[in-house]
Chains A and B, each alone.
Chain A
Amino acid sequence: MFDILRARWQQGHRTMPFPKGAPPAMPDRFRGRPTIDRGKCPDGCRACADACPTDAIRLGETAAIDLGRCLFCTDCVEACPEGALTYSGDYRLAARGREDLVVAEGAELPLARALDDKLRRLFGRSLKLRQVSAGGCNGCESDLNVLNTVGWDLGRFGVQFVASPRHADGLLITGPVTRNMQLALRKTWDAVPEPKIVIAVGACAISGGPYIGHEEASDGAAAAVPVDLFIPGCPPHPLTVLDGLLRLLGRIEGDHARRPGRAGP
C-alpha cells in the first residue's frame, strides 16, 4: 500500500488546465491547419494537387484545401517547388458543416458553433457518446482513448463514452463506414433516443480518407446519418478533438473558455 501511495506522489497531478489555461505545447513539427500562398505558385503549376493522395487541394480561380479530405501528410509540401504550402500549429479544426471544411486561401475556417440552446441545456454538462468504429485504422480510436487519461480527463467536462446506444446522447463515428459496418451503424443510430447528435472524427469518417472511392467503404458517415460536428485529422490530435467537443458544447467560444450552461455572447 505504501508503495502505491509513494508512486502516486512521484507521478504527480497531471490534468491540464486547458481550456481555462493555455493548451499543452504541441511538438514543433505538428501539422495543424494547412495554408496555401497562391502568390508563390508558378503559372500553371499543379504539383501539390497532383501529389495529394486524396485530391484535397482544389486549384481554380482561387485555391482551396478540403480539410475533410486532407490526411495532414507531407506530400503537398514536398511536391511544391516554391514552398507555397505550409502547416501552421493551429490545432483548431472542428466545424459544423461539411462545406465549412473547404477553406479557400486567405479565408478563415468557420470554427464549430455551439449547439442550439435546447440541446445545450440537455447536453452542455453531460454528454454521453456511443463510439462506433466503422472501418478505420484504429488511429482515431487510439487517440480518442487518450482523452480519458489523466492528462486530458474528458470526464471533467461531463463527456463520457458509454457502453450502449440506449444510454447515449449521440454517436461519435470513426472510419469510412465500410460496407460491412453499414448495418451495425444503422442499428446503433436507430437505438439512440432522440434528441441525438453525431460527431464524425477523422478524414475517413468525413470523406472516406485514404479509401475515397473504394467500393468496400462509403466515403464517410454522412452517407448513413446526419452529422452535427466534423473533426478533421488523420488522426486528429487529441487536442483537436477536445477543442471541437468543447466548442460544440459552448465551453469554448472564439478564443475563450466559457462557463458551462452560458448561452449567447
Chain B
Amino acid sequence: MTGSPAAFTRVLNGRSIDVASIPAVPHAPFADALLAAVADGQRVASCFGARAGTRAGASAGARAGADDPVELFAVLADDARSELHVGRTRVESGVFPSLTPRCPQVHLFEREIHEQFGLLPEGHPWLKPVRFQRPFGRPRGDAAPPEIGVADFYRVEGEEVHEVAVGPVHAGVIEPGHFRFQCHGEQVLHLEISLGYQHRGVERALAGGPDKRTVHYAETLAGDATVSHATACCQVLEALARVQKPARAQSLRGVALELERLANHVGDLGALANDVGFLPTAAYCGRIRGAFLNMTASLCGSRFGRGLVRPGGVGFDAEPARVAELLASLDAEEKDTANAVNLLWEASSVMARFEGTGTLPASVCRELGIVGPVARASGLDRDARHDQPCGIFRFAHVPVATCDSGDVFARAYVRWLEIQRSITFVREQLRALPQGPIRSAMRPLEGNRLAVAVVESWRGEVCHVAITDPTGRIDRYKVCDPSFHNWAGLAYALRNQEISDFPLCNKSFNLSYCGHDL
C-alpha cells in the first residue's frame, strides 16, 4: 500500500502539520481507511476525541465548551515505512459506529472517548468506565464523577467458581489498581482489571498550556518513565515551535532514555527473581538498579531524570571528567549485572516457574496492539526506536531484541538482551558526544497545528499528540502510555494460569497504573 490511507495525512515522528491538512471526513470513509490500514499491518498508536470549538474560528482564549461538536482523531503507525498517518472525522448527534468488533485494538480508546466526551460508540462489546472521571468541559461544580470501581464486568457463574479481589491498596509498595479473578480452584478463568485510582486530571490540565507546570506534568505522567514522557512532550513542543535541537542534546537525550531503560530492566529482573524466591539475583539487581539510577543522577541531580529533558534540548551538560566517570561505572555495572542475571538461566527452580507461564500468543499481541518488550517477547519485532526513529535514533541503531515463546521467560530474556544492547549504545554515545550547545531557545507554538511524538520507553511506545488553537495555545493534549495498550494483554495472559502466578505475570509485564490513569 503506498501513500497514506485514503483520507489520512502523513506526519513524521516529532514533526507537526497544519490541522487543516487533515480533512474532516464522514465516519464511513474514516472507518474504512483505518480498518484497511490495520488489515495491512499498521497499528493504532492513538485514537481520541477533541472538541472542535476553539479551532473552528472561535475568538482567541475561548475554551471549548461541553456542547461543542466533537471530532475523532486517529494516529496510525506504519512501522514498515516509518511513517505516521493522522485522520479525523466529525461525530454528529453524539453517536458513531464502534470499530472495536472489527478492530479490537481500539477497544479501550473507544471506552475512553465515551467517558471523556459522552459519545456513544454503537456496537462496542462492553462499554465500561476507564478512569471513572467526569467528562471534559463540564464545570467544576457539576455532577460528581461515577463511583470508582462500580461497573458491570464479565463474571463466571457456577457452584465451584469463586472470585478473588485484590486492591486497590496492594500488599507491597506499589501503585493502586483493582484485580478481580474469576477462579475455579487455583485456575484463573478470567481476570478483570479496573483502574482509575491514580487519575489526576493531567490531560485536562495540559490544555491551555504550555505553562510553568507543563514539563512537570510530563515528567510525572509515569514517574519511573520520566525521561520517556518528558522526551515525547518536549518533541511535541519543539515540533510545534519549529525548533531544532543541537546534536549534543540529541545524544544526551538518548543516553538518558537508555539509562532509564537499564535501571528499570535490571530492577524488573531482580523483582522477577524475588517473586520466584530466588534471592541472589533479587538482592544483586536491587542494588545494581540503584547504580544505574545514580548514573542518571550524576547527569542531572535526580535519580529519575527530573530536569534533564527540557524543551529545546537538555538541562544539563556532561563535561569530560563526568563522562569518564560514567563510562567507568558502566563497565563495573555491566560485569555485576551479567554476574547477577546469568544465575537465573542456570537455576532450574527459576526456569521451571518462568517457562510456559503467562503465555501471550503473537496473534493476540497483533489483535490487541500490544507494544514494548511484551510484544517483542511474543516474537513481534516492533520497537519505536527502530520503526519510527526520531532524535539520536535516526543515526544510532539499537538492534531490536525478540524472543518467541511469549511467556514470563521470554519477557525476562528480552529485558536481558535489551540491557546488553543499551549498555553498548550508552557507551558509544558517551565516547563520541558531539560538540556544541545543549539547548536551543524555544519559540512560541504555531497555531492550528497538530504534532505527534512517539518514544520507545522501557515499557513500550509512548505517544503524545498535541493540537494548538489559532493563538498557539494547546487546545488538546493526548497522552498514550504503553500501559494503555498492554493491560488487556496481562488480562489475557492470566487465562488458565494458576492464580499464584499472578504476581510473576504482573511483574513480567510491569505496567504503569498512573501512566494509564493520567
Contacts and interface: CB of A to CB of B under 8 A. Distances in A.
Contacts of B170: 133
B173 A215 contact: no
A136 B518 CA distance: 10
Contact of A27 (B132, B205, B294, B346): B294
A149 B340 contact: no
A145 B268 CA distance: 12
A214 B518 CA distance: 12
Contact of A181 (B145, B176, B221, B336): B176
Given A8-B280, A31-B301, A133 B173 contact: yes
A170 to B, nearest CB: 14
A54 B220 CA distance: 14
Contact of B315 (A74, A151, A175, A217): A74
A52 B201 CA distance: 20
A148 B287 CA distance: 10
A150 B283 CA distance: 6
Nearest to B177: A133
A178 B307 contact: no
B223 A11 contact: no
Interface string B161-181: 000000011111111100000
Contacts of A132: 169, 176
Chain B interface SS verdict (over half): loop
A118 interface: no
A29 B140 CA distance: 41
A234 B306 contact: yes
Interface string B198-214: 11111011000000110
A131 B294 CA distance: 24
B514 interface: yes
Interface string A209-229: 111001111000000000000
Interface string B282-319: 01101101100110011111111011000000011000
A87 B301 CA distance: 10
Interface string B144-174: 0100100000000000000000001111111
Contacts of A117: none
Interface string B219-256: 01111101000000000000000000000000000000
Contacts of B213: 53-54, 210
Interface string A59-73: 000000000000111
Nearest to B149: A180
Given A7-B339, A149-B290, A235-B223, A139 B169 contact: no
B201 A139 contact: no
B363 to A, nearest CB: 31
Contact of A214 (B169, B200, B284, B299): B200
A146 B200 contact: no
A149 B198 contact: no
Nearest to A210: B216
Contacts, number: 182
Contacts of B196: 180
A201 to B, nearest CB: 10
Contacts of A53: 212-213, 216
Contacts of B294: 27
A176 B200 contact: yes
A175 B220 CA distance: 11
Contact of B297 (A29, A142, A149, A150): A29
B169 A188 contact: yes
B201 A73 contact: no
A211 B174 contact: no
A30 interface: yes
Given A73-B216, A215-B140, A3 B346 contact: yes
Interface in A130-183: 130-146, 148-151, 161, 163-165, 175-176, 178-181, 183
Interface in B357-400: none
B512 interface: yes
Given A180-B197, A180-B199, A137 B222 contact: yes
B201 A214 contact: yes
A139 B280 contact: no
B168 A137 contact: no
A209 B220 CA distance: 10
B42 interface: no
A210 B172 contact: no
B133 interface: yes
B197 A135 contact: yes
B298 A29 contact: yes
Given A51-B212, A180-B132, A210-B216, A7 B287 contact: no
Contacts of B73: none
B176 A134 contact: yes
Given A130-B169, A181-B198, 14 more contacts: A3-B343, A8-B280, A11-B340, A28-B298, A53-B212, A87-B301, A135-B200, A136-B198, A136-B514, A145-B172, A150-B287, A176-B200, A210-B220, A211-B205
13 contacts: A11-B340, A71-B306, A133-B170, A135-B199, A136-B220, A136-B514, A137-B220, A137-B222, A138-B224, A139-B304, A151-B287, A161-B173, A216-B201
